Amino acid sequence: MLVTLWGTRGSLATPGPETERYGGNTSCVSVHGREGTVLVLDAGTGIRPMGASLDPPPRRVDILLTHLHMDHIQGLGFFEPLFCPDLDVHIWGPASTQLSLQARLVRYLSPPLFPVYIRELPCRLHLHEVGDAEIDIGEFRVSAARVCHPGPTVGFRIRDPKDKVLTYLPDHEPALGALTFPVLPRAWTSGAVIAEESDLLIHDSQYSAHEYHDRVGWGHSSMRHVLDFASLVDARHLVPFHHDPGHSDVDLDRLLSEAIEEAKPPFRVTPAREGATFRL
Amino acid sequence: MPSKPIQMILARQLASSLATPIFLMDAEGTVIYFNEGAEILLNERFEETGEIPADEYAKLVEVTDEARKPIPPEKWPTRVARTQRQPVSRTIWTRNRNSEWRHLQVTVIPIVGEGGALHGVMNIFWEL
């Protein structure tokens, strides 16, 4: 599979010279399979250039939403395939306990927040609520698990026919409530089972340790937390992701080098950079 | 080992940070966690017992009503809350394997996730 990062920023799009290297678009990752399957992980502002890159567009695109916070769906209305009449677009995401995925998406894809109603989109749109069961999308086997983040939120584990595994946990606070982290086994650690032995783990790393101290419960991890989480799950390659909008490129270089110096991880670490690709 | 539901992971994190005695049972009645406050009631340490199947848990503790009349396990508040999927609150006496009697108020809350899935119950105790 070919994994491409189109948006790496968390919370708010942050364009400008200070974020030029790691990027300012919010969460979006594409996964292209060898047999032509196209998955899009989250629909942050990075989905706009991702959609424009599909030339010619495939017959089917699957968008997997981890949750419906604005930075993960803001680009949805600007995804060109939604406006292609002959295209099947499948959107997968978590329902809430009371509302369907469609009812929750309509809150954004309708006036006054967006001029077009979801029912008016020209593509053949299919909405699916993700559960605990594994699903097959083209050549990929996808599993989802609810994880620790405010509101209904899932992480995705994507396995290709060669058993290469990508795990995507862009917004995740597995250390919530833990006096020290990690202490508990994988079964008792949010997201750990779907992330175990991933060939590529894309994971929330929004804060410094100091910032996390003042933001416990906001649903994100510190750089050190993600290094420790990746150790717990025996990840082979970690991509710290969902950079804080307040962190410049220089800040990110410093945060990562400090965390690596302290944790000395036994696996490869590559900070998420807009435009980066990974072939598994 | 399969992952615990996020609702139970969060419940454990809450319980582990409280002094109030709390037991967590899964949807089958297995004791999957109890905190330090509950360790005192049970006179057992979770680190030593690990998870306790429902039938073994019934051997660790004796439960009676206010008149010290034994309550059979199938009528324990935790079982009623789990099988009937409704909150239960009542006063009981318990006796652990150390023969220590305790007078307790217990409140049991079913933990129900999306789609109405029952993930387990949270048993909250208050010593009277």
Q: Which CATH class is domain B6-127?
A: alpha beta
Closest residue by Cα to residue A73 from A83, A58, A63, A82: A63
pLDDT at residue A63 greater than cutoff 80: yes
Tell me the fold of A2-279: Metallo-beta-lactamase; Chain A (3.60.15)
Q: In the predicted model, what is the mean pLDDT of chain B? A: 95
Whose tokens are 């079982």? That residue is B79
- Span A186-206, average pLDDT: 97
Of B3, B10, B114, the CB nearest to A152: B114
Closest residue by Cα to residue B23 from B46, B1, B3: B46
Task: Please report the pLDDT score of residue A99 as a whole number.
Answer: 87
Q: In the predicted model, what is the mean pLDDT of chain A? A: 95
Task: Please report the pLDDT score of residue A57 as a whole number.
Answer: 87
- Span B63-77, average pLDDT: 96
Sheet of B62-64, strands arranged across? B31-34, B22-26, B118-127, B101-112, B88-95, B62-64
Counting Cβ atoms within 10 Å, is residue B118 exposed (0-12), middle (13-18) or buried (19+)?
middle
pLDDT at residue B17 greater than cutoff 90: no
Enter the tokens of residue A174: 């597995």
pLDDT tens for each residue of B33-56: 999 999 999 999 998 999 999 999
- Span A123-145, average pLDDT: 95
Task: Please report the pLDDT score of residue A134 as a whole number.
Answer: 94
Of B2, B10, B114, the CB nearest to A187: B2
pLDDT at residue A72 greater than cutoff 90: yes
pLDDT level of residue B2 (50, 70, 90 thresholds): confident
What whole-number distance in Å separates Cα of residue A226 and Cα of residue A220?
Answer: 10
| B1 neighbourhood in chain A, CB within 8 Å | 185-187, 193
3-state secondary structure of A150: coil
- Structural domain spans, chain B: 6-127
* The dihedral sign for the CA sequence B1, B2, B7, B10: positive
| B18 neighbourhood in chain A, CB within 8 Å | none
Task: Please report the pLDDT score of residue A133 as a whole number.
Answer: 84
Whose tokens are 């499948």? That residue is A90
- Structural domain spans, chain A: 2-279
| B111 neighbourhood in chain A, CB within 8 Å | none
- What's the predicted TM-score (pTM) here? 0.91
pLDDT tens for each residue of A222-231: 999 999 999 9
pLDDT at residue A56 greater than cutoff 90: no
> What ipTM does this complex have?
0.79
Percent of chain A with pLDDT over 70: 100
Q: What type of residue is A195? A: A
